[in-house]
């Protein structure tokens, strides 16, 4: 994996950036949003709710969360915002830090609201996903596919070389990425990438195609850009810019499409997830969404429960949850359109958790170009 040397384009930017990096890293390390909205008993509840959906019994989640008092963290971020706002420096570079800090402040408030109705309002502000194009795409994709889905017969965290866990480990090793890979029973997704760890869902039956797609998505779409970001001196690449985490999901889907994984079954899943989030935002409960995913989208009960659990994270199922899934198709549409017009920007987007809105300012302060090997990556001036 090539690791770029990313430097500011002028020496006067460096002391300023280092000062802001310290603030940004300190704030980001304290928020941990996705961990806070994951229920402690997600695995047990998933099995119970799947059986209840099959029998059309009562579908009331009994999720329990480790409530975290995050007010001190929020105050810390708010103080950092005031400090940055008073600094005399390049306005566009300062704005990148301010925007990311404000995003982190909102995420910190969401952590404080886990398990309460306040979560739905705060989460809607953080994960907007209002694109008409994404809504239209979801409506088309959510229609049940005509072809038969590949048999799901491989245990995700099984001991065999063909398991998702071991295929992920093999790919991480082959790409020489500084990530460990472990199984986790609280995941509603098949896998998720953190700062130094890729988590694989425990005890899920998957197909060989599921495994190949998920490995490609997590390694090339998430782990590789994060590893590249860590090789730079700037926290804007390591911690990300505002919207960077969301837009990286769009880039990961574009990468899936390039590798021929965005087939009708994957589109069906993505469309159903988006539609489920729309239903949730319209006031539907967990039970109503899970039933609609089976009856209207034609999903198996186990898949319907995993999707409903995913969008209602942080909730009790009677009010809207995190709903992060609303950004996936919007980001996919935006990233695909952007790279069609400006393919040279892929170097920058793949150099960390970078959002589209940050590209103009980053272009002015950092220099990027394709290395000799051919993969787009960043280089110094």
Mind listing the pLDDT tens digit for each residue in 238-274?
A: 899 999 999 999 999 999 999 999 999 999 999 999 9
- Is position 305 within any domain? yes
How high is the mean pLDDT of the chain?
Answer: 90
Q: Is residue 5 part of a domain?
A: no
Q: Is residue 250 within 8 Å of residue 262, measured between CB atoms?
A: no
Decide if pLDDT at 74 tops 80: yes
DSSP conformational letter for 366:
B
Lowest mean pLDDT among 2-6, 36-40, 99-103: 2-6
First to last CA, the chain: 21
Question: Between 295 and 92, whose confidence is greater?
Answer: 295
Does residue 269 sit within a domain? yes
Contacts of 79 (CB under 8 A, 6+ apart): none
Pair 165, 150: CB distance under 8 Å:
no
Residue 191 pairs in a beta bridge with: 200
- H or E element: which one contains 361? helix 359-365
CA angle 105, 111, 114 (to 5 degrees): 145
* pLDDT-wise least confident of 81-85, 163-167, 188-192: 81-85
Residue 3 lies in a domain: no
In percent, the amount of the chain with pLDDT more than 90 equals 77
Three-state secondary structure of 305-331? HHHHHHHCCCCCCCCCCCCHHHHHHHH
Q: How many CB atoms lie within 10 A of CB 158?
A: 16
pLDDT computed for residue 86 by the predictor: 84
Which residues lie below 8 Å from residue 261, measured CB to CB, with a gap of 6+? 209, 212, 213, 216, 217
Q: Count the alpha carbons within 13 Å of 304 in the hemisphere toward its beta carbon.
A: 24
pLDDT score of 141? 97
Q: Residue 88's pLDDT is what?
A: 66
Least confident of 28-37, 178-187, 224-233: 224-233
pLDDT over 70 for what percent of the chain?
A: 91
pLDDT at residue 372 tops 50: no
Q: Is residue 257 part of a domain?
A: yes
- pLDDT tops 90 at residue 89: no
The boundaries of the domain holding residue 337 are 13-378
Q: Minimum mean pLDDT among 1-5, 14-18, 147-151, 202-206: which range?
A: 1-5
What would the pLDDT profile of 303-315 be if each residue is shown by its tens digit? Answer: 999 999 999 999 9
pTM for the model: 0.91
Q: Which residue has the higher pLDDT, 274 or 92?
A: 274
Mean pLDDT of 69-75: 92
The pLDDT of residue 368: 59
Whether 16 shows a pLDDT value over 80: the answer reads no
Quick: pLDDT tens for 210-224: 999 999 999 999 999
Chain segment 52-62, per-residue pLDDT in tens: 999 999 999 99
Q: What are phi and psi of 105, to 5 degrees?
A: -65, -40
Task: Examine residue 131 and state whether it is found in any structural domain, yes or no.
Answer: yes
- CA–CA gap between residue 181 and residue 193 (Å, rounded): 9
Q: 230 pLDDT band (50/70/90 cuts)?
A: confident
Distance CA 166, CA 182 (A): 9
Does 7 fall in a domain? no
| 137 vs 15 pLDDT, higher one | 137
Q: What does the pLDDT read at residue 3? A: 38
Residue 132 CB: number of other CB atoms within 10 A?
9
Say whether pLDDT at 373 is over 80.
no
> Does residue 6 sit within a domain?
no
Strand partners, 183: 200
pLDDT at 114 over 50: yes
**48 Rama class: left (phi>0) / alpha (psi -120 to 50) / beta:** alpha
* Count of domains observed in the chain: 1
Q: Which residue has the higher pLDDT, 14 or 286?
A: 286
Lowest mean pLDDT among 89-93, 94-98, 199-203, 339-343: 89-93
Q: How far apart are CA 151 and CA 209, in angstroms?
A: 9
* Cβ within 8 Å of residue 272, ≥6 positions away: 141, 142, 293, 297, 299, 307
Task: Please report how many Cα atoms fall inside a 13 Å half-sphere around the Cα of residue 171, on the Cβ side.
Answer: 22
């Amino acid at each position: 994996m090539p690791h770029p040397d990313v430097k500011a384009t002028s020496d006067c930017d460096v002391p300023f950036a280092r000062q802001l990096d310290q603030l940004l890293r300190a704030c980001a390390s304290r928020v941990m949003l996705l961990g806070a909205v994951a229920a402690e008993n997600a695995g047990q509840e998933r099995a119970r709710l799947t059986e209840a959906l099959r029998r059309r019994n009562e579908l009331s989640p009994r999720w329990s969360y480790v409530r975290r008092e995050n007010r001190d963290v929020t105050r810390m971020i708010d103080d950092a915002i005031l400090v940055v706002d008073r600094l005399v420096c390049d306005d566009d570079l300062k704005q990148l830090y301010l925007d990311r800090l404000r995003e982190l402040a909102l995420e910190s408030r969401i952590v404080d609201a886990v398990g309460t109705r306040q979560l739905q309002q705060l989460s809607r502000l953080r994960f907007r996903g209002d694109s008409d194009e994404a809504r239209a795409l979801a409506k088309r994709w959510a229609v049940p596919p005509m072809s038969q889905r590949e048999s799901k017969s491989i245990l995700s965290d099984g001991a065999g070389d063909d398991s998702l866990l071991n295929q992920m480990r093999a790919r991480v090793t082959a790409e020489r990425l500084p990530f460990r890979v472990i199984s986790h029973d609280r995941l509603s997704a098949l896998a998720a990438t953190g700062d130094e760890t890729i988590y694989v869902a425990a005890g899920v039956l998957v197909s060989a195609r599921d495994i190949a797609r998920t490995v490609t998505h997590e390694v090339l779409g998430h782990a590789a850009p994060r590893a590249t970001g860590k090789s730079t001196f700037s926290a804007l690449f390591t911690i990300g810019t505002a919207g960077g985490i969301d837009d990286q999901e769009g880039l990961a889907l574009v990468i899936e499409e390039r590798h021929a994984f965005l087939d009708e079954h994957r589109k069906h899943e993505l469309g159903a997830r988006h539609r489920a989030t729309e239903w949730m935002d319209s006031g539907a409960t967990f039970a109503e969404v899970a039933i609609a995913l089976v009856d209207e989208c034609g999903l198996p009960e186990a898949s319907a429960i995993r999707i409903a659990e995913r969008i209602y994270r942080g909730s009790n199922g009677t009010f809207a949850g995190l709903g992060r899934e609303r950004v996936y198709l919007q980001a996919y549409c935006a990233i695909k359109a952007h790279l069609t017009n400006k393919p040279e920007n892929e170097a920058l987007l793949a150099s960390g958790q970078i959002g589209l809105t940050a590209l103009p300012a980053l272009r002015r302060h950092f220099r990027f170009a394709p290395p000799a090997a051919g993969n787009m990556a960043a280089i110094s001036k």
